[in-house]
């Protein structure tokens, strides 16, 4: 079974386990916590919305991603690990009350490979008409491969024109021959992330198909959602065994620059790094900076970063804040628009950490908040669940 060899290379993630909360009421995934829901349209933390059945396999849940619909309802999807068959899919749960209560809404099923939608879902709303799809169309990217992890892997793109209720396969984005493991030499693909830039949809992902790199970070572009460019490197180290991973990207609107965060799994563990570029297609041309807090502790973050930018809630000069989550930290790194290496403050959240915990600026009754979506950690699956928080913009 695959988790053993997937975990073998993840020694750096021990840090996550060590960072896991120890008190019973603070353990993500405790079924008892499921009885609790916050009041609608309030700020809250540690709200479990999906507790997987005991028949779930591997990690039960991981890697949650979110979206907000125009009516302010919230969606969360995640990597699910049910007993199969039927084939695994990417479930979508919905909240109509600001994230307080959630229910099953829909799911993104593999319509073409016969393998299931297995890893790393990502949701993106088209802000403009694109490729024949109206503005407001929701795109979903994800990784499809067999349960055995042998026989190939696709990053696939689906679209929904009815607010994420039903889904249609649009295109294959990238192929790897597999197996879908993190072993050096296995031709795997991971972690798609979508943006719109310069009239193109850009998909960033982690790529193990180039023998010169155990893993590198790349992107492809499309004009029509169907035909994709060849991959272009964003982060690739000359040492073959280095493994940069898990791209996320945000637009710093005030300066019109772009920031990408990633984990750099090399000699020094999987510490979070970032790059800032004028053009998100040219990250390869700029050097990376290691992320650390600007207090005397100079604390770093390990693995699974997620970056967002937001206008500053207390200023009206157009400036904003960059917020970065790391898998092993409950708190977040908050910096100014210049992304200065010595400008990252540690800001507490009071919310659980999670592997690749995602962040999204949402509007709750018209007020800007940050939705945190957690799918659990690489610990025992019984401790994992899907949980969320809605908090004022950390600053
Ligand atoms: C969730 O909803 C979808 C769409 O209605 C349905 O196909 C699926 O079976 C439901 N899943 C669960 C776990 O109830
Ligand atoms: C850390 O960075 C913040 C800006 O994000 C700044 O306001 C603060 O003064 C810095 N702290 C130190 C100790 O440099």
For 211-240, how does the pLDDT look when each residue is reduced to its tens digit (9 = 90+)? 999 999 999 999 999 999 999 999 999 999
Torsion 52-56-62-68 (CA) sign = negative
Predicted local distance difference test score (pLDDT) of residue 101: 97
CA angle 204, 191, 254 (to 5 degrees): 45
Q: What is the dihedral of CA 215, 242, 5, 28, to 10 degrees?
A: -90
Other residues' Cβ atoms within 10 Å of the Cβ of residue 284: 16
Mean of per-residue pLDDT scores for the chain: 92
Is the peptide bond preceding residue 86 cis, with omega within 30 degrees of 0? Answer: yes
Distance between Cα 329 and ligand 1 center (Å): 33
Ligand 1 pocket mutation pick from 106, 160, 167 by most atoms within 8 angstroms of CB? 106
Predicted local distance difference test score (pLDDT) of residue 269: 87
d(CA 377, CA 9): 15
Backbone angles phi, psi at 163, to 5 degrees: 60, 45
DSSP string for residues in 66-128: EEE-TTS-EEEEEEE---SSSPP-EEEEEESSTTSS-EEEEEE--SSSSS-EEEEEEEEE-SS
pLDDT at residue 18 greater than cutoff 60:
no
For 168-207, how does the pLDDT look when each residue is reduced to its tens digit (9 = 90+)? 999 999 999 999 999 999 999 999 999 999 999 999 999 9
pLDDT at residue 19 greater than cutoff 50:
no
* CB of residue 346 inside a 6 A radius of ligand 2: no
Predicted local distance difference test score (pLDDT) of residue 34: 58
d(CA 276, CA 360): 20
pLDDT at residue 20 greater than cutoff 90:
no
pTM exceeds cut of 0.75: yes
Distance between Cα 107 and ligand 1 center (Å): 7
d(CA 357, CA 158): 23
Predicted local distance difference test score (pLDDT) of residue 267: 73
Q: Which residue has the tokens 């637009």?
A: 251
Q: What is the dihedral of CA 19, 20, 25, 29, to 10 degrees?
A: 150
pLDDT at residue 56 greater than cutoff 80:
yes
Residue 217 and residue 247 in contact, taking contact as beta carbons nearer than 8 Å: yes
d(CA 357, CA 65): 8
* CB of residue 335 inside a 6 A radius of ligand 2: yes
Distance between Cα 345 and ligand 2 center (Å): 6
């Amino acid at each position: 079974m695959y988790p053993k060899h997937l975990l073998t290379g993840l020694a750096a993630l021990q840090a996550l386990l060590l960072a896991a909360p120890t008190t019973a009421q603070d353990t993500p995934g405790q079924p008892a916590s499921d009885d609790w829901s916050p009041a609608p349209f309030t700020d809250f933390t540690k709200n479990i919305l999906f507790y997987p059945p005991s028949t779930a396999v591997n990690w039960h849940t991981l890697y949650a991603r979110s979206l907000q619909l125009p009516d302010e309802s919230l969606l969360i999807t995640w990597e699910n690990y049910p007993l199969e068959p039927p084939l695994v899919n990417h479930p979508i749960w919905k909240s109509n009350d600001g994230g307080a209560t959630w229910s099953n809404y829909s799911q993104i099923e593999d319509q073409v490979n016969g393998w299931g939608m297995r890893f790393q879902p990502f949701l993106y709303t088209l802000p403009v008409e694109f490729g024949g799809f109206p503005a407001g169309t929701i795109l979903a990217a994800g990784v499809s491969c067999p349960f055995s992890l042998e026989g190939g892997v696709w990053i696939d793109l689906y679209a929904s024109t009815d607010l994420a209720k039903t889904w249609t396969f649009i295109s294959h984005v990238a192929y790897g021959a597999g197996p879908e493991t993190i072993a050096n030499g296995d031709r795997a693909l991971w972690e798609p992330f979508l943006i719109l830039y310069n009239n193109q949809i850009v998909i960033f992902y982690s790529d193990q198909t180039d023998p010169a790199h155990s893993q590198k970070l790349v992107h492809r572009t499309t004009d029509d959602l169907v035909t994709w460019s060849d991959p272009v490197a964003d982060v690739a180290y000359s040492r073959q065994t280095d493994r940069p991973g898990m791209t996320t990207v945000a637009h710093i609107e005030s300066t019109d620059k772009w920031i990408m965060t990633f984990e750099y799994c090399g000699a020094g563990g999987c510490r979070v790094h970032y790059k800032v570029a004028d053009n998100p297609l040219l990250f390869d041309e700029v050097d990376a900076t290691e992320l650390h807090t600007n207090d005397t502790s100079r604390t770093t973050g390990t693995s699974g970063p997620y970056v967002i930018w937001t206008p500053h809630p207390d200023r009206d000069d157009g400036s904003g804040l960059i917020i970065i989550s790391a898998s092993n930290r409950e708190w977040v790194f908050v910096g100014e628009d210049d992304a200065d290496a010595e400008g990252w403050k540690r800001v507490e959240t009071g919310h659980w950490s999670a592997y690749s915990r995602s962040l999204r600026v949402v509007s709750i009754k018209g007020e800007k908040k940050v939705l945190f979506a957690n799918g659990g950690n690489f610990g025992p699956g019984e401790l994992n669940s899907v949980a969320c928080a809605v908090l004022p913009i950390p600053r």
